[in-house]
Structure 1
């Protein structure tokens, strides 16, 4: 009897997971299906469930209409730069808060850093744009990357991990003649490998999906990102070609 109840619960959990996966994957699969249709097939009712033969043509149109290749390259460069910069600055800041024990006012400074985490981008966007304009960074990679380098979340993540490292380990490194940077690169960073990879991936995906800031701080299509490219495909004077738009979405 107990075995049957356990099996029923297991089947119920798997059924629930299957439903959740289906709901999550449906928009992507439907976009892929639409991207295989030609313009007329998109509006057929009832909708077709059999893929068409126009996928490559739609991909080519999406690629050429908004220079999607350039926009994807911009997104990749910006995402990689921000992920690397934010990870590096976060680990250095966290190291300073934990390694230098007699650093005056470090707790107050850490609280100030955490407070900045409560300020969303829309609150900071005007002042940040004015700063970029003053520095003549508008429509440059500097404006698209440098404002995102600082990270209260990343600093907190690494600081909390570094606090779990025994103080005797840093004392032993000092006795052996290892300076702060050597202790960081040879001991702490290898121990923080999982945190490094996790933060890098999260920040890469975050920047890849960023839309508002690149839209505000860029003025030429050559500096736009892929997310804006999809919007450019939609915002046309003629009727939207959803087969081409979905092909662009699949590429992005």
Structure 2
């Protein structure tokens, strides 16, 4: 029997609160900085309470942008990042679940060779194959497009491995029952495997959405038009100025806005995300 001691859990709670404070304090500073004038931030005199320029800063950042650093409104950048993140997440999940289904439930020659070939690509991230990938993207004339942002990144050996391991735990009785009911491969996949995989899909969607949202190198290479830039590139361009004073209030507002979609996805899908990571029963 576990005894409930009044002060026995004090230390763990203090450590937890300290960890939350360490993580949350920079976010709090970014929010506070986005509400003050740029001169206050640049002079190092920024107080720890909100200023009066918050609504104006966020409105100008989202709708009109700034003429000196970001020639495109941050709202457009957020939309580009959202399309890219959703496209990468859905593409990776769709290709991976179909690949895992074929590897587990179909007996074809060199099945394991195909799986290990996919698995080996874990050692070849985008940074390693960046030049040939860029060459192919350029030859297909999909630079400065959503297709160019999404398609080269939708293959995922990790997701294929996770779905394969999950499908291998599916009882064979389900397969036999589907055959007895006259269900073909597509119906078995759609009516049986997909409902069983929903928690895994949700967990992978959260991870892959954040992966796509945080992409920097690939969008930086293939986007030259301002209206196709993602918000991560926008933050870099706001800060990286040479002859002008960095607009810190705009940079902080953009950073806060960049955090909102991933946080919203994690919060809204938290239960399915945790369930998909820990659930073992089918």
Within a 5 Å distance, the mapping from 1:1-252 to structure 2 comes to 7-45=6-44, 47-63=46-62, 64=64, 65=66, 66-100=72-106, 102-236=107-241, 237-252=243-258
**Residues in 2 aligned to 1:43 and 1:144: alpha-carbon distance in whole angstroms:** 35
CA shift at 1:194, angstroms?
0.6
**Residues in 1 aligned to 2:179 and 2:83: alpha-carbon distance in whole angstroms:** 39
Q: Deviations over 1:127-186 (max 9, x none)?
A: 100111111111111110011111101101111011001112111111211011111111
CA contact under 8 A between 2:240 and 2:246: conserved in structure 1? Answer: yes
| Greater alpha carbon shift after TM alignment, 16-25 vs 43-52 | 43-52
**Residues in 1 aligned to 2:98 and 2:126: alpha-carbon distance in whole angstroms:** 24
| Greater alpha carbon shift after TM alignment, 189-198 vs 65-74 | 65-74
CA shift at 1:187, angstroms?
0.7
**Residues in 1 aligned to 2:87 and 2:176: alpha-carbon distance in whole angstroms:** 34
Structure 1: unaligned runs, 5 residues or longer: none
CA shift at 1:60, angstroms?
2.8
CA shift at 1:196, angstroms?
0.6
Seen in structure 2, the aligned counterparts of structure 1 residues 211 and 45 have a Cα distance that, compared at 3 Å, is closer
SS in 1 for 2:127: helix
The residue that corresponds to 2:271 in the other structure is: none
**Residues in 2 aligned to 1:214 and 1:21: alpha-carbon distance in whole angstroms:** 32
Q: Deviations over 1:33-60 (max 9, x none)?
A: 1111112221455541121111112113
**Residues in 2 aligned to 1:147 and 1:9: alpha-carbon distance in whole angstroms:** 52
CA contact under 8 A between 2:36 and 2:46: conserved in structure 1? Answer: no
Structure 2: unaligned runs, 5 residues or longer: 67-71, 259-282
SS in 2 for 1:165: coil
Q: Deviations over 1:3-53 (max 9, x none)?
A: 58x554421111111111111111111100111111222145554112111
Q: Which has the higher contact order (CA 8 A, sep 6+)?
A: 1
Count of aligned pairs between the two proteins? 249
Seen in structure 2, the aligned counterparts of structure 1 residues 45 and 129 have a Cα distance that, compared at 3 Å, is closer
- What do you get for the CA RMSD once the two structures are aligned? 1.6
| Greater alpha carbon shift after TM alignment, 202-211 vs 230-239 | 230-239
**Residues in 2 aligned to 1:47 and 1:57: alpha-carbon distance in whole angstroms:** 18
CA contact under 8 A between 2:97 and 2:163: conserved in structure 1? Answer: yes
Seen in structure 2, the aligned counterparts of structure 1 residues 20 and 115 have a Cα distance that, compared at 3 Å, is same
Q: Which has the higher helix share?
A: 1
